[in-house]
Amino acid sequence: MSTAPWISAQTQQLLAQRGHAWLLQGPSGLGQYSLALALVRAWLCDQPTPAGACGHCGGCHAVDVRANADLCVLMPETVMLELGWPLPEKAQSDIDDKKRKASKEIRVDAMRDAVEFCQRTSARGRGKAVLVYPAERMNQITANALLKTLEEPPGDVRFVLASEASHQLLPTIRSRCIAHTMAWPEPAPSLDWLQAQGVSDGEAPLLLRAAGGRPQDAALFAQAGRSGKSWSLLPKAVARGDVGAIAGFSPPQVVDALQKLCHDLMALQAGAAPRFFAAADLPAAVPVAALSDWWQELADTARTVEHPFNAGLMLESLVSRAHNALNSRAPTRP
User: Does a structural domain hold residue 199?
Assistant: no
For residue 265, the domain's CATH number is: 1.20.272
User: Does a structural domain hold residue 140?
Assistant: yes
C-alpha distance from residue 22 to each of 60, 83, 94, 193 (Å): 20, 21, 33, 26
For residue 330, the model assigns a pLDDT of 57
What is the DSSP secondary structure assignment for residue 244, as one 8-state letter? G
What is the DSSP secondary structure assignment for residue 241, as one 8-state letter? T
User: Does a structural domain hold residue 39?
Assistant: yes
Residues 45 and 174 reside in one and the same domain: yes
User: Does a structural domain hold residue 334?
Assistant: no
**Could you give the CA distance from residue 207 to residue 197 in angstroms, rounded to a whole number?**
13
User: Does a structural domain hold residue 103?
Assistant: yes
What does 104-169 look like in DSSP terms, one character per residue? SSB-HHHHHHHHHHHHSPPSSSS-EEEEETTGGGB-HHHHHHHHHHHHS--TTEEEEEEES-GGGS
Residue 295: CB atoms within 10 Å: 17
User: Does a structural domain hold residue 196?
Assistant: no
Our count of domains for the chain comes to 2
Q: pLDDT tens digits for the chain (334 residues)?
A: 568 999 999 999 999 999 999 999 999 889 999 999 999 999 999 999 999 999 999 999 999 999 999 999 999 999 999 999 999 898 999 999 999 999 999 999 999 999 999 989 999 888 999 999 999 999 999 999 999 999 888 778 999 999 999 999 999 999 999 999 999 999 999 999 999 999 999 999 999 999 999 999 999 889 888 899 999 999 999 999 999 999 888 888 999 999 999 999 999 999 999 999 999 999 988 999 999 999 999 999 988 887 756 778 888 999 999 999 999 875 544 5
Which of residues 164, 181, 198 is at a domain's end? 181
C-alpha distance from residue 255 to each of 249, 252, 283, 319, 322 (Å): 10, 5, 18, 10, 10
Residues 231 and 316 reside in one and the same domain: yes
The reply to whether the predicted model has a pTM over 0.75 is yes
For residue 1, the model assigns a pLDDT of 56
What does 45-108 look like in DSSP terms, one character per residue? -SS-BTTB--SSSHHHHHHHTT--TTEEEE--HHHHHHHTPPPPHHHHHHHHTTSSPPPSSB-H
Backbone angles phi, psi at 71, to 5 degrees: -120, 130
Q: Which amino acid is at 159?
A: F
Give residues with Cβ within 8 angstroms of 220, minimum separation 6.
Answer: 29
For residue 303, the model assigns a pLDDT of 85
Domain residues for 163? 5-181
Q: How far is CA 66 from the centre of its chain?
A: 20
User: Does a structural domain hold residue 33?
Assistant: yes
For residue 24, the domain's CATH number is: 3.40.50.300
User: Does a structural domain hold residue 266?
Assistant: yes
Residues 236 and 160 reside in one and the same domain: no
Check if the beta carbon of residue 218 is closer than 8 Å to that of residue 1.
no
Which of residues 123, 155, 181 is at a domain's end? 181
